[in-house]
Structure 1
Amino acid sequence: MKKALFLSVAFLFVIAVHAQVNIYSALTIPDSLKKDADIVIRDENIRLTVKDKNTAWYDVHQVMTIMNEQGKKFLFFIQYSDKFHALDEAEIKVYDMLGNKKNTYSKKEMTAQNYGEGLVPEGKVTYFDVTAPSYPITVEYTYSIKFKGILSLPGYDYHSPWQSVQHSVFEVEAPADLGVRYKLVNTELQPELIHSGSRDMLRWEVKNLNAYKLEKHSGSPFLYEPMVLIGPNKFQLDDYEGDMTSWKNFGNWINDLYAKTTGLPDEKKKFYQAMVRNASTDREKAQILYAYLQNNMRYVSIQLGIGGWRPFPASFVDEKKYGDCKALSNYLKSALDAVGIKSNLIIIYRDYEPRIVDEKFPMNDFNHVILCIPQQADTVWLECTSTTLPFSNLDITTLNRKGMLITDNGGILINTPVSNYQKNTEVIRTVIEVNGEGGAVVNTTSAITGEERDDLLMRFHDMKDDEKRKYFLTDRSWKQPDVLNITTADKTSNPYWLKASMEYDKVYSFNAGSKLFFEPRLYPIFDEDIPENNKRMRDYHFTCPYQVLDTTVYKFPAGYTLENLPKNRSVTRPFAQYTCTYTWDANAHTLISVALLQLKERVIKAADYDALYDFNKQVMADVNEKIVMKKE
């Protein structure tokens, strides 16, 4: 009955608006809202109704016009459901350019299937892909989601790049004695506060927002998109009640979840104590236990328990030899406890770009658990799901961000380590043996450390041979050979190395008569996307800072003489440096180039973008140089 009432109210509202202006016709969109817009939000009404600390409804009605192929992703409706969060009602209507209704799809016509990579399904996903015979096309989404447990509440992300907004409203209603908190991000849009008996409502409304462009490599949407974050004060998940008005209280809720999960059998405690008997320091002991975890336990995604928050007991992991991030971190914590080493869990958001974590606004925006051993000078950081990360190393997805450290007294915010270019190093040595016809046999070795190593291992090591060859030529941009063979180190090697042997029928780029033109290297040493933009608005984000030391050796047979040797080059900026030297040994018929590229900062300020563009331009000038040899 509740859902029928909701849908009726939504439709009545649409009829009322439709009487004033045809929000379904693309012809009625104001010209100002068409500029740079892939989609136009014609009308949007979102209502979050908090019933109590355990129940909430999220009702959405959206009418949007998709202007072109670039906005196609908004024709794909998808919602995930689990024990605490379920899609209740859903309907999609489709209109042509003139606003004529062409199709209606109910929830039962959508595809629903289980999802999850673990041993059991994590939930259900419902999706539907609207086909667009032409553009523009208008879709109308009406759906409702029920929350059973309000640990996390949806916010209001009302103005994304390439999107204009004709009209949008977001309302949050909650009991006055329970309330909710909000945080404004990249906006000063204040809500209207409405009191009605025992309930309060916050209401945001926007109109006629023009589309804006997204500059490449602008980082996380939390850095530029206007949005409103919503957080509960009191909440409940299953039988576990919590308070999120402080990080300390939130951490205490985590402590309650983990209570009675850390114990190991006495014989297993003795097993670990014997394992570290000869270690002289706590760091050595921790390293031994971490290696044991990596070699004997495996990561499996498991979303059972309290919405995926409570881990399986350490005794379960010990018996089954697997667990998810929570369970494996909790298990290693238990093993460390057994040998007298104090460690702490860290709840964190894992992805290439961090999320906002504000000291003054506690909220749950985390999806991962790691472990640390706090120390005065050199804290030990432990990613318990990885079989390849070196001891006390984190990777790109957990560095450079805040997390919540769980102490005996609750939660506190801490910073994970900051990326360091000197730790992210690739050393490349390439020998190119040119034959009399201009072909060559090439052997190259790359030794890689740090975040570069971890990222390569994650994407490359377990590929099939043909996939490795494709990756080597496309992602690493090596000149296409006629023959290519690749070998790699063991996963645990640090540095991690890969070797490639190649054969080229023609290794030079082009010729002019008897003159042959060779590239200084057979790949671009700096291959970043840095377009010209003298009005850059946002900071430029690299994946990580790094340095590359390349030595390329050309060995020529008799009959080749040097016509042109590129000039040595040095380019220095506060955030980056590039040097390259060229040496010709006439007696040995050998040319050696040594290049060092250092990208010292992960984030380049918008004010320095012109300097970054110029740096890239000068490096590319060297990359595009030619070694000219004359063949007798």
Structure 2
Amino acid sequence: MKKILIILGMILLSPIYVKAQKSPVYELYKTKYPNAHAVRLLEERKIDISLKDDEILITQDILEEDLYLDQAATYGSKRSINYSSFFDIESLEASSLLYENGKYNELEVKDFVEKDEMDRSFYDDSKSINFIYPGLQPGAKSKLKYRERIKNPRFLNSFYFADFKPIVKSKVTISVDKDISLKFKEFNTSGVDINFTEKEKRGKNIYTWEANNIDEYNLDSGAPNFRNTFPHIIPIITEYKTEGKNVKLLENVTDLYNWYYSLVKNINTEEADEELKKIVTILTQNKKTDLEKVKAIYYWVQENIKYIAFEYALGGFIPREANDVFNKKYGDCKDNSSILYKMLDIAGLTGNLTWIGTRSIPYKYNDVPTPAVDNHMILTYMDGEDMYFLDATGRYIPIDMPSSFIQGKEALISISEKDFLIKEVPIVDSQRNTIIDSTFIKIEDNVIKGLGNFKLSGYPKIDFFNALEAQKNEKDVKDMYIREFRKGNNKFLVDDFKEINKYHYDKDFIVEYTFNIKDYVNSLEDETFVNLNLRRNLSEFKSKADRKNDKEYRYKSNEKLITVLEIPEDKVVEYIPSNFNISNDLFSCSITYTQQKNRIIYEFNIDQKFILLTLEQQKELNKLIKKVEKNFKEVIILKNKNN
């Protein structure tokens, strides 16, 4: 009987049986934000930073209240709170508030399930507390309250005043002991109405930021990471006073580097594995220069040490021993840098451990000297004045190119216990990242038949190799080539292909192929019309008129398409389109036609000289593309000889 009553109670509380009443607050925000799925009524964080027994203690009390405006409430019912060895959850309360009979009734969450967050093969120390808000439906609210303890003062969280949903009230209060020095960095707050106050109370400095009625933020496809757009602050504990002395924490980059170095200074002190020594000897024995030795070792690590992102506690910051990485044949970015460092050392060469942020992180080291500034480790090799940024987490990356996602980023390079350098990783020029597709075609019975030579270098080649590795069999590879080489129309087919320099790190990748295109040539009476613009897709460079954000690309590139048409013996050229050229500082495009005896040579070239476009630049580029697309419609006209 008791079980029946419990089940009946659960049914009555389910969204199906609750009368669909709507509160005034729902009506208000449904009208104000008709396209929003939910509204955050309150996001409040109270941070207490205290000094006790020469130790900094940090707790965060977090309160979130959400209102659900449509059926997406079902998806919002599942929640989880993450924590790890750096963050403890000390208390947690959650509840749903369902509107009935003119008021909200609260239903507490009773079941909280802890889970280890792991992937298929590897474990890290991240955990989560999972729960479900009961009975959420349009008009319902949820309430979440928890306390988090931050174990390391260097990991003080950022606070965001905006989200992908509207926020009615967003507030953060930081109470800090007077013996602890705090500074704040603001990002993207210009034009946002944030009220800041500062006061002193009971031996503490209290800082408060409050923002009200912040509309939802939407990021267009290809927009830079939300950190570039969302208004937020980063609080930084710079130093604290204990026993009459000032103890530096994160006042500047030197403080951050000193901590980083303390985590890596004792790695790889044991003797290298004998098998690892043999491999280094074999790799370097016939190399004439130090750079050739570095290249051989670097490529070996890319090919033989599998990259797996996993961590445990400070394992997220401390590289594992090179011997362990060698024996397991896998590691994360720090581990790959560790074995690369050790292998260079075995060869009598010096590599420099290097911290760096990917392009998803917009901060510079001098602005944000905290662990929030970076998320990646590589190795830097210095050859005279030349620097090589070696990222062994990837594959097929040549020694003189950084991985694409660290281009333009600052690198913190370890020189010694006290010395370091900050250098900006160069952005690779478009001429290094080339796609050249040369085709030689002729017309047979109104069918285009051709020979192609497809050549890749730089990042496009790396992308192509990674895509090729994912293909399971020869048919998949051929289908991939049909997609990649497609030209003319959807009846394009690759007949045969031959791969040259496949998976080679330094040489261009070449595919020689034969193809045919049916129903592409048009004829009318004694004239034949052929459009030599066989590939006319510039969609990746076009932006929608209503776009709101900058647009980011992974790398600069240069693409060249060459088509050589053999003029049929029974025809003469009646019309060849004019050449076309357009250019600015960011983008250039040209189309040329040249007749040489019985051939017409068409060449189309695009030079993409940017990796980031502002809204104004996108509009300007759209204008250029329209002019290019107009020229795509041009055709050559061949006429029968005897008419």
Q: Would you say same fold, with TM above 0.5? A: yes
- Residues 235-266 of structure 1: CA distance to partner in whole angstroms, max 9, x if unpaired? 9xxxxx98222211221222221122123526
2:109 is equivalent to residue 106 of structure 1? yes
- Residues 326-376 of structure 1: CA distance to partner in whole angstroms, max 9, x if unpaired? 12212221222333333211111235x443124143111222110102345
The 1:97–1:620 alpha-carbon spacing in structure 2 relative to 1, beyond 3 Å, is farther
- 1:619 match: 628
- Residues 52-90 of structure 1: CA distance to partner in whole angstroms, max 9, x if unpaired? 656543333223345568999867634433332355525
Contact 1:262 1:333 in 2 (8 A): no
- Structure-2 separation of matches of 1:627 and 1:143: 71
- Structure-2 separation of matches of 1:624 and 1:581: 14
Query: Which of 310, 318, 335 is residue 343 of structure 2 equivalent to?
Result: 335
Residue 211 of structure 1 and its aligned partner are, at CA, apart by 4.6
- The amino acid that maps onto 2:86 is F
Query: Which of 224, 234, 237 is residue 232 of structure 1 equivalent to?
Result: 237
The 1:165–1:95 alpha-carbon spacing in structure 2 relative to 1, beyond 3 Å, is same
- Structure-1 separation of matches of 2:173 and 2:23: 21
- The amino acid that maps onto 2:560 is L
Contact 1:405 1:411 in 2 (8 A): yes
- 2:43 match: 44
- The amino acid that maps onto 2:540 is E
2:264 is equivalent to residue 258 of structure 1? yes
Query: Which of 514, 536, 541 is residue 524 of structure 1 equivalent to?
Result: 536
TM-score by length of 2: 0.79
- Structure-2 separation of matches of 1:28 and 1:223: 31
- Residues 447-488 of structure 1: CA distance to partner in whole angstroms, max 9, x if unpaired? 222222233334453233576667667788754336447765
Residue 104 of structure 1 and its aligned partner are, at CA, apart by 5.1
The 1:394–1:445 alpha-carbon spacing in structure 2 relative to 1, beyond 3 Å, is same
- 2:585 match: 574
- The amino acid that maps onto 2:45 is I
The 1:24–1:359 alpha-carbon spacing in structure 2 relative to 1, beyond 3 Å, is farther
- 2:370 match: 363
- 2:395 match: 387
Note the 1:291-306 alignment, pairs <5 A: 291-304=299-312, 306=314
- 1:481 match: 491
- Structure-1 separation of matches of 2:513 and 2:148: 53
Residue 594 of structure 1 and its aligned partner are, at CA, apart by 0.7
- Structure-1 separation of matches of 2:451 and 2:103: 64
Note the 1:146-185 alignment, pairs <5 A: 146-160=149-163, 163-185=165-187
Contact 2:217 2:230 in 1 (8 A): no
The 1:328–1:435 alpha-carbon spacing in structure 2 relative to 1, beyond 3 Å, is same
- Structure-1 separation of matches of 2:48 and 2:456: 52
Contact 1:424 1:546 in 2 (8 A): yes
Q: Secondary structure at the match of 2:123?
A: coil
- 1:552 match: 563
Residue 310 of structure 1 and its aligned partner are, at CA, apart by 1.2
Q: Secondary structure at the match of 1:301?
A: coil
- Structure-2 separation of matches of 1:173 and 1:492: 57
Identical columns (%) = 16
- 2:28 match: 28
Residue 311 of structure 1 and its aligned partner are, at CA, apart by 1.5
The 1:476–1:294 alpha-carbon spacing in structure 2 relative to 1, beyond 3 Å, is same
- Structure-2 separation of matches of 1:397 and 1:432: 38
The 1:412–1:391 alpha-carbon spacing in structure 2 relative to 1, beyond 3 Å, is closer
- Structure-2 separation of matches of 1:520 and 1:614: 23
- Structure-2 separation of matches of 1:592 and 1:129: 65
Residue 383 of structure 1 and its aligned partner are, at CA, apart by 0.9
- 1:414 match: 423
- The amino acid that maps onto 1:420 is D
- Structure-2 separation of matches of 1:463 and 1:132: 45
Contact 1:525 1:623 in 2 (8 A): no
TM-score by length of 1: 0.80
Contact 2:111 2:131 in 1 (8 A): no
Contact 1:24 1:65 in 2 (8 A): no
Residue 130 of structure 1 and its aligned partner are, at CA, apart by 7.7
- Structure-2 separation of matches of 1:556 and 1:516: 11
- The amino acid that maps onto 1:25 is V
Q: Which region of structure 1 is more displaced relative to structure 2, 97-106 or 60-69?
A: 97-106
Query: Which of 457, 468, 478 is residue 465 of structure 2 equivalent to?
Result: 457
- Residues 134-185 of structure 1: CA distance to partner in whole angstroms, max 9, x if unpaired? 8677544444444333432221111246x43321111233433235432100
The 1:495–1:96 alpha-carbon spacing in structure 2 relative to 1, beyond 3 Å, is farther
- The amino acid that maps onto 2:469 is H
Q: Secondary structure at the match of 1:543?
A: coil
- Structure-1 separation of matches of 2:329 and 2:35: 53
Query: Which of 386, 389, 409 is residue 401 of structure 1 equivalent to?
Result: 409
Query: Which of 59, 63, 66 is residue 64 of structure 1 equivalent to?
Result: 66
Residue 228 of structure 1 and its aligned partner are, at CA, apart by 0.8
- Structure-2 separation of matches of 1:625 and 1:137: 59
Q: Secondary structure at the match of 1:29?
A: helix
The 1:109–1:631 alpha-carbon spacing in structure 2 relative to 1, beyond 3 Å, is farther
- Structure-1 separation of matches of 2:71 and 2:400: 46
- Structure-2 separation of matches of 1:558 and 1:90: 84
- The amino acid that maps onto 1:577 is S
- The amino acid that maps onto 1:204 is W
Structure 1: unaligned runs, 5 residues or longer: 1-21, 236-240
The 1:627–1:397 alpha-carbon spacing in structure 2 relative to 1, beyond 3 Å, is same
The 1:40–1:567 alpha-carbon spacing in structure 2 relative to 1, beyond 3 Å, is farther
- 1:19 match: none
Based on CA coordinates, which of the two structures has the bigger radius of gyration?
A: 2
The 1:108–1:537 alpha-carbon spacing in structure 2 relative to 1, beyond 3 Å, is closer
- 1:17 match: none
Q: Which region of structure 1 is more displaced relative to structure 2, 166-175 or 134-143?
A: 134-143
The 1:102–1:492 alpha-carbon spacing in structure 2 relative to 1, beyond 3 Å, is farther
Q: Secondary structure at the match of 1:250?
A: helix
- Residues 113-135 of structure 1: CA distance to partner in whole angstroms, max 9, x if unpaired? 53236533453345568899986
Contact 2:98 2:139 in 1 (8 A): no
The 1:234–1:480 alpha-carbon spacing in structure 2 relative to 1, beyond 3 Å, is farther
- 1:7 match: none
- 2:503 match: 491
- Structure-2 separation of matches of 1:514 and 1:90: 82
- Structure-2 separation of matches of 1:81 and 1:476: 47
Contact 1:549 1:595 in 2 (8 A): yes
Structure 2: unaligned runs, 5 residues or longer: 1-21, 241-246
Residue 398 of structure 1 and its aligned partner are, at CA, apart by 1.3
Contact 1:311 1:327 in 2 (8 A): yes
Q: Secondary structure at the match of 1:390?
A: coil
2:334 is equivalent to residue 322 of structure 1? no
- Structure-2 separation of matches of 1:39 and 1:487: 54
Q: Which region of structure 1 is more displaced relative to structure 2, 608-617 or 207-216?
A: 207-216
Contact 1:154 1:229 in 2 (8 A): yes
Question: Number of matched residues?
Answer: 598
2:355 is equivalent to residue 347 of structure 1? yes
- Structure-2 separation of matches of 1:553 and 1:177: 76
- Residues 5-56 of structure 1: CA distance to partner in whole angstroms, max 9, x if unpaired? xxxxxxxxxxxxxxxxx9983212296x537756533222123344565654
